[in-house]
Amino acid sequence: MRLLTAGDVCDVLSSHTRRFPYQTLNTWVRDGIIRPAVQARGTGRHRMFAIVDVLAVAMGRGLRASGFTLNAAAAVTDALMQFTEEQLLSNFDQGRICLMVAGEKVSRRLVNREEVALNTYIDLKAGKDIGLLPIALDVKRLYDNICNRIDQLAPRSAAQHGRERVKTRKTYRPARQPQRATAST
């Protein structure tokens, strides 16, 4: 299982123009919308997030930016966090890549493109009564984007990605003294 610190999660979810706020991540954890894979217990400890947690935060952030309510975004994050990364990859291998959402109702399984068309027809009929249209969220595409961003992280995160940590400790070096020109005699 690949684990990331909260700072790494913010780095992965940041865009070129805007950093993902740590306060948002912290609030979502405190409110129970996101549950880290490893809880921080005590001073100086870091919460660690699995790839699925990062995927859930990214999906929730995207839904909130698109105008979904916090409750609807929380329902989607909760549905995604029911999966392990291995389960997601198994679903992707079988062609099941989308999560169906209608308001605050979220499917608890991934579906393939053919099922999306079928669910859209069925849910459109049922959704007419409640005024909600179903939406298919492409989980695989977002997963691939997040994995690419993780691979681009700075070496400080190398330990969480299964590689040996690169130590880059700065050592004190006194400033070079300019050489004085000496007059030859």
Q: What is the pTM of this model?
A: 0.72
The predicted pLDDT at position 136 comes to 83
**Any idea where the domains of the chain sit in the sequence?**
3-157
Q: Do the Cβ atoms of 35 and 81 come closer than 8 Å?
A: yes
The whole-number average pLDDT for the span 94-120 is 80
Q: pLDDT, tens digit, for every residue of 3-60? A: 898 889 999 998 877 888 899 999 999 999 999 988 877 676 788 999 999 999 999 9
The whole-number average pLDDT for the span 108-127 is 67
Q: pLDDT, tens digit, for every residue of 140-180? A: 999 999 999 888 875 554 454 454 433 333 444 445 555 66
Domain 3-157 falls under CATH 1.10.1660: yes
Question: For residue 55, which phi and psi values (nearest 5 degrees)?
Answer: -60, -45
Which one, of 78, 26, 30, lies nearest residue 55 by Cα? 78
Q: pLDDT, tens digit, for every residue of 49-100? A: 999 999 999 999 988 888 888 888 999 999 999 999 999 999 999 998 888 8
Tell how far CA 142 is from the center of its chain. Answer: 9
The predicted pLDDT at position 181 comes to 60
d(CA 109, CA 130): 22
The predicted pLDDT at position 52 comes to 94
